[in-house]
Amino acid sequence: MDRLKQIESFAAVATKGSLTAAAAAEGVAPAVIGRRIDALEERLGVKLLVRTTRRITLTHEAAPSWRTPSAC
């Protein structure tokens, strides 16, 4: 799987706050975004997102490495 696509998908989810919004922005199905995130987490050996039925949040491991443009 393309590593750049995995990172782009993570960035889209972190920015937009949901798999559905990230998928719409990238023009793919939400399941594709989910698989990319799963592959990235497996490759890195760390969970990046906490997924519930209500929302997605960044884990403590992912939050310090992700800064939105408004936080710069």
Query: What values do phi and psi take at 29, rounded to 5?
Result: -75, 150
- For the whole model, what pTM was predicted? 0.82
Q: Does residue 29 belong to any structural domain of this protein? A: yes
Q: Does residue 12 belong to any structural domain of this protein? A: yes
Query: Is residue 64 over pLDDT 90?
Result: no
Number of domains in the chain: 1
Q: Does residue 71 belong to any structural domain of this protein? A: no
Close Cβ partners of 17 (under 8 Å, ≥ 6 residues apart): 55, 56
SS3 26: helix
Q: Does residue 70 belong to any structural domain of this protein? A: no
Range of the domain at 46: 3-65
Q: What is the pLDDT of residues 20-58, one digit of tens each?
A: 999 999 999 999 999 999 999 999 999 999 988 888 888
Which of 65, 6, 14, 5 lies closest to 40, judged by CA?
A: 6
